[in-house]
Chains A and B, each alone.
Chain A
Amino acid sequence: MEFSDEQLERYSRHIILKDVGYEGQQRIASGSVLIIGAGGLGAPAALYLAAAGVGKIGIIDGDVVDTSNLQRQVIHFTQDVNKPKVQSAKEKIEQINPDVEVVTFRKIVLADNIMDIIKDYDFILDGTDNFPAKFLINDACFFAKKAYSHGGILRFNGQTMTYTPGNTCYRCIFNSPPPKNLVPTCSQAGVLGAVAGILGTIQAAEVLKYLIGKGQLLTNKLLTFDALNMQFRNVAVSKNRNCPLCGQQPSIRTLMNYEQPVCDIKQNNISSGDKVC
């Protein structure tokens, strides 16, 4: 695609970069990203990816905006309370950058829909807040041979890694979801809003690097940070030959839905879960 004068100006700070340039910006503009979860991680990621001019951004989320989201989910405003998150996010993205095509799915990812949804995207961004979804996304991206960014936050901590086909997957490190209620959720334990911003923004940077094909991704690395002491660690991880998904004798051959703690999903949002808006 050719950029107009207005687009050259909009993306000038990218184009000036030697590692992005005109060609890199073209790759961003022809790229597509699916953001799963329009919450603490998805919100900053969506804002930066929209501003960066990613050609197509898909957003999937079954929830509506709640007042308690506003402390960190910066794509949603006070006036959006009770509005579907995907609609709120789409409105902001379009205001930031009308170049971006936004596709919304007002539902949650499940074993029977995720493959069909991710197939149209170059890169998947996990911005979910629960283990069943994180394992499902990992497994689906492995089977679909899609690159994705894992992200998780709690209290003052965050962790992220990037998966590309052939490299260490989430299950290589974390075999299966922890027992229910062993790890508290953000709604039980709290999270510093800015921590979501840091992590979601790191994920957005990984997406952009993947699209332009420059630099080192967080593949075979788990980046963790503790914002309370502002310490970052980059831990080398490697493919696990005993991984139940991508190891030598895999036991997982199909997608599965792990049971979700009932308190974490609002029933009214499940019932409206199949509507595509």
Chain B
Amino acid sequence: MEFDIKKSIDLLGVICPMNFVKTKAALAHIKPGEIIEVKLDEGESIINVPRSVKEEGHKILKVFNDGQSFRLIIQKGSDQ
């Protein structure tokens, strides 16, 4: 499935909570309904960031497992 990605950020090597902070910063720059892609490390990052993103009303459309890392496809919620 293809996504219309507005912005892609690489957060490999960025630990909590800055990975979430930078994800929020990226989401602040797009409109509700638009989509960003976020590259995250396995472990804490991929456990915590999607959970926090969902708690703020955004939608995780898909998680790609690229082996050692993950790509998160996030659609900005309208709650913002």
A8 to B19, CA, bound (A): 11
Does A18 sit within 8 A of B, measured CB to CB?
yes
Q: Which residues of B contact A (CB under 8 A)?
A: 17-18, 20-22, 24-25, 27-28, 52, 55-56, 80
Tell whether, in the assembled complex, residue A22 and residue B18 are in contact, meaning their CB atoms are under 8 Å apart: no
Q: A8-B21, A23-B28 are in contact. List 11 more A-B contacts (CB 8 A).
A: A3-B25, A8-B22, A12-B17, A15-B21, A15-B25, A16-B17, A16-B20, A16-B21, A18-B56, A21-B24, A22-B25
The 10 closest A-B pairs by CB, nearest first: A22-B28, A12-B21, A15-B21, A22-B25, A22-B24, A18-B56, A8-B21, A16-B17, A15-B24, A23-B28
Q: A9 — which chain B residues lie within 8 A by C-beta?
A: 18, 21
Q: List 10 A-B contacts (CB under 8 A).
A: A8-B21, A8-B25, A9-B18, A12-B21, A13-B17, A16-B17, A16-B20, A18-B56, A21-B28, A22-B27
Q: In whole Å, how far is A57's beta carbon from the nearest beta carbon of chain B? A: 24
Quick one: closest A residue to B52, CB to CB? Answer: A16
- Count of A-B residue pairs with CB < 8 Å: 32
Task: Kindly name the residue among B20, B21, B25, B56 whose own CB sees the greatest number of chain A CB atoms within 10 A.
Answer: B21
Tell me which residues from 116 to 141 in chain A have a Cβ below 8 Å from any Cβ of chain B: none
For the complex formed, measure the closest distance between the CB of A10 and the CB atoms of chain B, giving whole angstroms: 10
Q: Which of A9-49 contact B (CB under 8 A)?
A: 9, 12-13, 15-16, 18, 21-23, 26
Q: In the docked arrangement, what's the CA distance between A22 and B56, Å?
A: 12
The answer for the CA separation of A69 and B22 in the assembled complex, in Å, is 42
B18 touches A12 (CB 8 A): yes
> How far apart sit A15 and B22, CA to CA, in the bound complex (Å)?
9
Q: What are the residues of chain A within 8 A of B27 when measuring CB–CB?
A: 22
Min CB–CB distance A59 → chain B (angstroms): 30
Residues of B within 8 A of A23 (CB): 28, 80
Q: A15 CA to B26 CA in the complex, in Å? A: 12
User: How many angstroms between the C-alpha atoms of A22 and B27 in the bound complex?
Assistant: 9
Whole-angstrom distance between the alpha carbons of A60 and B76 in the complex? 43
Residue from the set B22, B25, B52, B55 with the largest chain A CB neighbour count within 10 Å: B25
Distance in Å: Cβ of A4 to nearest Cβ of chain B: 11
Identify the closest chain A residue to B57 (Cβ).
A18
B25, chain A: closest CB distance, angstroms: 5
The closest CB in chain B to the CB of A13 belongs to: B17
CA distance in complex: A23, B27 (Å) = 10
Q: Name the A residues within 8 Å of B18 (CB-CB).
A: 8-9, 12
* Cα-based distance from A18 to B56 in the complex (angstroms): 6
| A9 to B14 alpha-carbon distance, docked (Å) | 11
Question: What residues of B have a CB within 8 angstroms of the CB of A8 in the complex?
Answer: 18, 21-22, 25
Query: Nearest Cβ distance between residue B24 and chain A, in whole angstroms?
Result: 5
Contacts of B56 in A (CB 8 A): 18, 21
Q: For residue A15, which residue of chain B has the nearest CB?
A: B21
